[in-house]
């Protein structure tokens, strides 16, 4: 990681890193220290918190799908 003195640049870099880890975080595929780092960051970063909340809702919705929708050819055969 490129440590820079500019706090705005540093924040943007950290946001990019956290956002890259969000999918693995939701899947439980991060080591505990990396997961804790994501939680810490989203606690104080409203932009990343919003992104994680939206991603969580999207993933939950996709997981809730029971089966693919019935196609038009199957509805006509019934």
Burial of 36: CB neighbours in 10 Å, binned 0-12, 13-18, 19+: exposed
Structure tokens at 60: 């939950």
Q: Domain range holding 41?
A: 7-63
In tens, the pLDDT along 4-43 reads 589 999 999 999 999 999 999 999 999 999 999 999 999 9
Assess if residue 41 is contained within a domain. yes
- Our count of domains for the chain comes to 1
Q: Does any domain span residue 31?
A: yes
- Predicted TM-score (pTM) of this structure: 0.71
Within a domain: residue 57? yes
């Amino acid at each position: 990681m490129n440590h820079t003195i500019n706090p705005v640049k540093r924040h943007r870099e950290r946001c990019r890193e956290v956002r890259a880890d969000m999918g693995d975080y939701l899947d439980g595929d991060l080591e505990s220290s990396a997961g804790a780092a994501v939680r810490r960051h989203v606690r104080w970063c409203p932009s990343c918190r919003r992104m994680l909340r939206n991603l969580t809702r999207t993933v939950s919705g996709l997981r809730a799908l029971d089966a693919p929708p019935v196609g038009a050819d199957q509805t006509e055969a019934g």
